[in-house]
Chains A and B, each alone.
Chain A
């Protein structure tokens, strides 16, 4: 089957393409910059729709903390624009190109479709939490508006937010509006060295349960050079005070080193990109979301079975893990589930992603509803079919 490639320039054109495809029952693969194309199940589509032509920031009101951008707008463009006004997307979107060894320009649409958030997710929420409005084209080729440009809005169901993490299977995103936040005046990272995973998770849990507003906590477990990092952000005086209190309260974990703003920014970007566990190209990478208190024990149990590289983020709520592709592919998911969490296969070869479901299988009742929801948005089943789960 030959794949035709289309590049609409506006939402009207997107709608028209989808309508035609729906009439012909032809599957569409939606592509922005293509940097995360290797995430999820491979899609077999007759048409690729490249939305990078839908580009540009359509609204930015710094005093209202709101920015709107078309789906194909490069993420970098938006973050640069916000930075000029001392603002940011709060959830710290990460660049997955190093991890996936991909190229292309990450876009706003791809960021929302995958709902992947960086280290600040713990503190301020995920990408989905920052979405306040959304425009998309559903599987019937209708342009749909949900939400708006104001911070608080419960007018009608929140279907726009549900676009986050739907991997384009419910609609083609055309424009998204976000709540933004001021960037911190300064950043300080406290780095504790040489802690075991158990001790590190205990340290991070204590830190984020303190009143001192730790905005990120991660543990880089690389052999005998383990580092546990806590981030504080805000005004200098405030950071100094909070750091002092934290160090005092956490004295049993040793004396941390301090990284100030510039090196902190580098460090946390690398943590968000999971640089420390990327490993050789034939290693698979998992992203596990777990109750933090159970994550270290779970990793220890896996270590007993295979050789794994591990990075704990979100105070242990997120565990990045890589191992050789030849290893048992069921072990990680089984362990995550037993620990009350779930695992997503982020990096694996195409063949493997066809064989092993990248996303945690769902409970029967939920799966049934998921099929229904897909039907409600995309009755012909043409939008990124099978990208998340077979059949939806």
Chain B
């Protein structure tokens, strides 16, 4: 199995399992406390199935108050807590431990209030990302962050990981689109951070909470900034015979003064996989393809696309294909957004998530090819090119332990490469369990200690989503590194 170490379960906690379960059943109706081994099993992993740990129990609260009662009880009993949204994390963010209770927010899936006049929507955190937009789109509005898993992933998980998506080149990521959250602290206190208005007084708690990977508390409600959709949007496909040309074209488009709403990159392997699923009309005979989308009125879109086509042709684009209908646009995006899952048709994969300065794209793409070939594996590249957020999918066979090990090794090398060229380990999936042990490649222990001190403010005993984000040797703060 994998090289990542997990802490030994605490025998004292395992010994009082019955008592913990009884305590949970006193606080939420028994049908929402999952205890049988058969039924706990599906909760042992998320979308990163290389890591699995059977939780002590799973509880599915139905209200903020129930979450508060659960956290207050579990923290008193010193039981570890694994917050879970829809379990779509690609970094193992929802991986349980044997001595931990999974607290899922899947039942908290309602829209509470939409205020179009003030452009906000208040939702329960277990609602899926796409369900928010579906709810407000009849009125012409949308919620901007759109991770590829937006169909299934929850706002709670988006907040935990500060999720991005294809369209954040223009609209920003989760932290740029949340006005307030209601969070339950470990001791059961319910606290509202932010509110309905911009720039709340005092410290910027939202900056800290969004992206804290479930280690500060459990968010049960959020006030989202919603935006009015443009009159129209149109993607176009640019096909290149050289990978380097596609990379250079991205920089050229941006340098020319246009910020498309999205610039997505796919290499030939990814194009073929996705075309097979989505029938989007992707060109199959190119080395790389960009999906570039612009928004506005028709006339405006025409102007922008003409300009983009000119830049693309100058940079070696052989194929320029503009979507001709809503259905075609939908298929183009369906293919892109299903890229990870569709890859499952041909192989298992590890999905990387490093970000690099876009100027380094050609170099990094070449190096990725070399690294993967060195480990005798294949790779499909599909990513958000506009902001340099790479998603190389390292293809392997999960039933072959040696291949898994080589895939992990190749993945680590790719992430180190990202840091080396001035980028980072993770652009939107989060550190989770997967990149925990690489954190010291990007940060000094002094940097990490400062982050840990913030964590300890909320969770001094490392009960919330433990064994993630920070290398195990850094927690708890050892002697001499007193908080």
How many chain B residues sit at the interface, stated as a range, is 35 or more
B202 contacts A291, C-beta separation under 8 Å: no
B355 contacts A152, C-beta separation under 8 Å: yes
A209 contacts B228, C-beta separation under 8 Å: yes
B257 contacts A151, C-beta separation under 8 Å: no
B173 contacts A152, C-beta separation under 8 Å: yes
B257 contacts A150, C-beta separation under 8 Å: no
Q: Report if B146 contacts A (CB, 8 A).
A: no
B-side binding surface: helix, strand, loop or mixed?
A: loop
Bound-complex Cα distance A126 to B189 (A): 29
Which of these, B199, B300, B422, B427, contacts A289 with CB under 8 Å?
B199
Known interface pairs A209-B119, A291-B115. Does A365 touch B208 (Cβ–Cβ under 8 Å)? no
A166 contacts B203, C-beta separation under 8 Å: yes
Bound-complex Cα distance A159 to B210 (A): 10
Q: Report if A44 contacts B (CB, 8 A).
A: no
A311-330 near B? 1/0 per residue, CB < 8 Å: 00010011000000000000
B228 contacts A208, C-beta separation under 8 Å: yes
- For window 445-465 of chain B, which residues contact chain A by CB distance below 8 Å? 446-448, 450-451, 453-458
A86 contacts B257, C-beta separation under 8 Å: yes
A142 contacts B428, C-beta separation under 8 Å: no
Which of these, A128, A138, A360, contacts B204 with CB under 8 Å?
A128
Q: Report if A70 contacts B (CB, 8 A).
A: no
Q: Report if B211 contacts A (CB, 8 A).
A: yes
Bound-complex Cα distance A157 to B211 (A): 6
B388 contacts A151, C-beta separation under 8 Å: yes
| Number of interface residues, chain A, beta carbon within 8 A | 82
Q: Report if A198 contacts B (CB, 8 A).
A: no
B357 contacts A66, C-beta separation under 8 Å: yes
Bound-complex Cα distance A152 to B429 (A): 10
A148 contacts B422, C-beta separation under 8 Å: yes
B450 contacts A292, C-beta separation under 8 Å: no
Q: Report if B172 contacts A (CB, 8 A).
A: yes
Note all chain A residues with C-beta closer than 8 A to B189.
Answer: 365
Q: Report if A62 contacts B (CB, 8 A).
A: yes
A-B contact pairs, 22 of them (CB 8 A): A64-B358, A125-B172, A126-B198, A144-B450, A148-B442, A149-B422, A150-B388, A151-B386, A152-B388, A154-B164, A162-B204, A162-B205, A235-B303, A238-B296, A318-B198, A341-B197, A342-B195, A359-B202, A360-B201, A366-B191, A366-B205, A369-B191
Interface residues of B (CB under 8 A from A): 115-120, 140, 161-162, 164, 168-169, 172-173, 175-176, 185, 189, 191-193, 195-205, 207-208, 210-212, 228-231, 251-252, 254-255, 257-259, 296-297, 299-300, 303, 355-359, 384, 386-389, 422-431, 435, 439, 442-444, 446-448, 450-451, 453-458, 469, 483
Top 8 closest A-B pairs, CB basis? A151-B387, A152-B427, A161-B207, A63-B255, A376-B453, A360-B201, A293-B117, A182-B257
